[in-house]
A = this chain, B = another copy of it.
């Protein structure tokens, strides 16, 4: 049987670590835990990543890339902004449901342990793939007259805070219904908040 390539091994580590980090948090996840889950020795882990922190940073870049791509697809579609907002909510909730570790990592590791990302991920440099697409989303919406012209962060905070908050409540099993059942009303709320009024 073929030995897994260097790249496959890295990917495998990232996958397993992502699950642990997102579930247990950065500090409560230990190196032996990660190594065991990947099925390798602790020592060997360090042939692939220089440190626990390096791994954490690669992970957030990886996630940002995937979310960014999803946003780009939406940005490139021809729909009106009511539908586009609905598409974003749908995409985000599907992520949070099917690959919850991504969203949870974002919330529980990246946003929560800032000190880990201090060197090399200052400001938003490690999530720029994603944030850039969000920026394009708003600018385009304002340009074509469907969204009210307002400070970017005011809109960004609404989107990300709202969706993140719902994903959090879902992850904590606080929501009484399935996440996707909130989709339509949340998309409407966001649209009402951001749309232009005649």
Taking beta carbons and an 8 Å cutoff, which residues of A are in contact with B?
Answer: 24-25, 27-28, 107-108, 111-115, 123-124, 150-151, 153-158, 160-166, 168-169, 172-177, 182, 185-186, 189-190, 192-195, 197
Contacts and interface: CB of A to CB of B under 8 A. Distances in A.
Oligomer copy total: 4
A189 B185 contact: no
Nearest to A176: B153
A44 to B, nearest CB: 14
Contacts of A186: 154, 157-158
| A111, A115, A165, A192 pick with most chain B CB within 10 angstroms | A165
Contact of A189 (B108, B163, B194): B194
A107 B164 CA distance: 12
Contacts of A150: 185, 189
Contact of A158 (B123, B162, B175, B194): B162
B115 A168 contact: no
